Structure 1
Amino acid sequence: MSSLSYGYNVRSERLRVMGLHELLAFLLLIAVVCWMIFPRDLSSTLRNARLDAVTFSYMQAWLKAKPNDDELRLLMARELIMLGRFQEAENQLVLIAGHGHFHDGDVGWLRLLKDFHRLMALPPRDRVGTMLEYETVERLNAVDWGALTRPQREEYADMALALNQSEMAAMAYSRIAVQSDTPAQWHEQAAAVHLAHGNYQAAATSYLRAMDARGDYDVRKAYFLSALDVLVAGSLHAQALALAERRERSFIADKEVVYRLMLLAQAGGDMARAQRYAVILLNLPGVEASR
């Protein structure tokens, strides 16, 4: 039964205001809000969320309810390390180790990370010769390379470099290159580390590896000349000439390279080879005899 009030039908107006489409939209809105407030897998959501103060608070609340969620606890421990809250991070790692869920490698890695960041938090003059520095380097040496993820391997190399473990860092960059889609850049980083520490032969080897990893002629040429340059910089003329002899075939039609090889032979006292390069240079197209 309906009634009339002020000229319209009350029952029909009510039905029109809360029609089927409006009701469905309202229920959908409730469902979305509930999904946002009560996610089906909060742990997974937190692991994939951007870590900020709110997310961190949710982590703490979740771990109180689910203390055996070691994956999330590992993430929380790492975040605590990044925040410089080292003791709290260690407390989390102790809990994880106590659960016996086969996270020894993850715990060991985070303890290395914790010690490294503790060390880096000190003024540079206060780091050298400390027990913390010694323990951090020892932890770094004990790392199982095969168990590391790609990002961890990059972190490992960077930590080794920061700890003045140049050979360890260069080797890490070279090992990363083996499984990288861009190996040349990692070999180049290894070369830079070797060169910075005066290891000219190793730097040249890394430049050659970078050269062999690239197909572009100009890039290969640049790496080849860099390898020669570092050997000359280290007064390793005999090694530079030997390298030139082994690899010259790929560049023997390049005027710039042949000219550099001629100068290299002259500097190394190998006049017969210098003359040979001069003859090749004169016979290359576009090269003037006066050069």
Structure 2
Amino acid sequence: MARRKDIDGSMSVPTFYGKELRWKREAAGLSLEELIEGSFYGKSLLSDIERGERRMPMELARHVDRVLGTDGYFARGCEDVGRARRGPHAAYFQQVLEAERHAETIAEWAPSAVPGLLQLAPYARAQVIAAHPTAADDWVEGKVTARLVRARLFDEHHDTPEYWVVLHESLLTDPVVPAPDMTAQLDHIAGLARCRRIVPQVVLRKGGPCPLAAASIMLMDFADAPPLVYTEASYSGTTIDDPALVRQYRKAYDRLRAVAQAPDVSLAMIESAAEEYRNGRQPDRLE
């Protein structure tokens, strides 16, 4: 029988805890399937965690502690792993960073800013400076770079998640960066749609009140874990895994998509707005 490849726990905090997890699981004489039994998570997730490739959700960490009798060891370790993976991102965003890389589908609603996954550097920089006007240049650039790394989800991965984004009309018609940068930003979104990496829809101003008008949200579905919802305000964010709340957000998102323009119409609107900026004009309201 081939000798299994060992895990180098010195490489990072996640690999250290992954190695500890596998050691304690095997010491207890349990397979991956046996350890995961009774939770809502899949074998592939647990295997990735043992290799240090994915973060252990707190609910799963508590399940593992109960089964292995490790007295909260892995629940406490979740915080260390999260801090190690976060980098320049805010603490409240740490779970989303990993979740979006492993999601099968991502559905996002953007009422006030182009989503981070779709931003180019000028747009991202303008957003960071607007939120942190006194920050040092190197801190700002660290934030911008981290956001661009997230955006590689669509150009580096063969197994890109299915991504559906609903944009408010104001994101097309109200410029937050100079016209050439708005042109590039909207061209980028349109290009991702044209190559079938994303599906965009636009909600018009004239549509009146719409579901989820009060907050931006991201819904994520996984093959080996329960779905998540992430909601965000200016300086805070919340990850929600409560099944009843997740269902409520999903229903609201479905109603939002129903009042938005069709994807082909929305793409034409995005390209039209980009062309207006390209010609030195600010786009009119789309209605």
Q: Does the pair score TM above 0.5?
A: no
Larger radius of gyration: 1
Larger relative helix fraction: 1
- Normalised to the residue count of structure 1, the TM-score between the two structures is 0.28
TM-score, length of structure 2 as denominator length: 0.28
Q: Which structure is higher in strand share?
A: 2
Higher relative contact order (Cα pairs below 8 Å, separated by 6+ residues): 2
